[in-house]
Amino acid sequence: MTQAYQKYLKEVLIDEATLQHRIIELGTQISADYANSTTLLLVCILKGGVMFLTDLARHITVPHEIDFVAASSYGSGNRETSGHVRINHDVTANIKDRDVLVVEDIIDSGYTLRFVMDTLLARHPKSLRLCALLDKASRRVVPIRVDYTGFEIENKFVFGYGLDLDEKFRNLPFIGVADEEALKDDA
């Protein structure tokens, strides 16, 4: 049966097994690095980071809490970043003196993460690090230190595994490259 996403899928960039294998490696590394932490808080950036967070957390053996931030830098239907970032939902936890690890789906220009990291840093966590599943490093406009990276990828618009195409297809278990022609047809 043909599924709706197939029209937009140019190619699978990272298949499910490869994603899951890398997430186990990241979880193992994070578990070792935070082995002595008693205050670990994973802060997931909504909505895109949610699939990654839930899989990653299952491989983190250190006791921890999870929390969420929703931020947006893209206007609806616009695939270029605006540089204007807004926090639509803030964390509920008090992060002062805690080990905070931000979990994000993808870093593109860096505007979103820069804003979120600066906002969190101002609240004096004990430590603040960043774990991003995907990094389009060649697109960076503002500097961001990424402590844990799943995969560095080329400058292609991708979707699936938390990342959306106009809010859809976040549920796919793999990362796909969007077909520019199919996107234009829809515009």
Q: Which of 99, 105, 108, 135 is catalytic?
A: 108
Kindly state the number of chain residues that form the binding site for Mg ion, as judged by CB under 5 A: 1
- Asked if the bond preceding 168 is cis, omega within 30° of 0, the reply is no
Q: Binding residues for ligand IMP, per CB under 6 A?
A: 48, 73-74, 81, 104-113, 157-159, 163
For ligand IMP, give the closer residue by CB, 33 or 164: 164
For residues 118-157, which are near Mg ion according to CB under 5 A?
none
Strand order in the sheet with 9-14: 9-14, 175-178, 158-159
Say if CB 45 and CB 104 are below 8 A apart. Answer: yes
The binding track of 35-54 with respect to Mg ion, each residue x by CB under 5 A or -, is: -------------x------
20: Cα separation from own chain's centroid: 15
Q: Which residues pair with 9 in a beta bridge?
A: 178
Active site residue 108: yes
For residue 59, the minimal CB distance to Mg ion (Å) is: 21
> Which of the listed partners (ligand IMP, Mg ion, none) does 132 bind, with a CB threshold of 5 to 8 Å by partner kind?
none
110 touches which of ligand IMP, Mg ion, none (CB within 5 to 8 A by kind)?
ligand IMP
What is the rounded CA–CA span in Å between residue 131 and residue 140? Answer: 16
159 binds, among ligand IMP, Mg ion, none (CB under 5 to 8 A by kind): ligand IMP
The token duo for 94 is 């008090």
107 makes contact, choosing from Mg ion, ligand IMP, none, with CB < 5 to 8 Å by partner type, with ligand IMP
CB of 64 to ligand IMP, least distance (A): 22
Q: How far apart are CA 146 and CA 92, in angstroms?
A: 24
Please state whether beta strands 86-89 and 158-159 pair in parallel, antiparallel, or not at all (unpaired).
unpaired
In a 3-state reduction of DSSP, which class is residue 48?
A: coil
Binding interface with Mg ion (CB under 5 A): 48
Active-site residues, by number, are 108
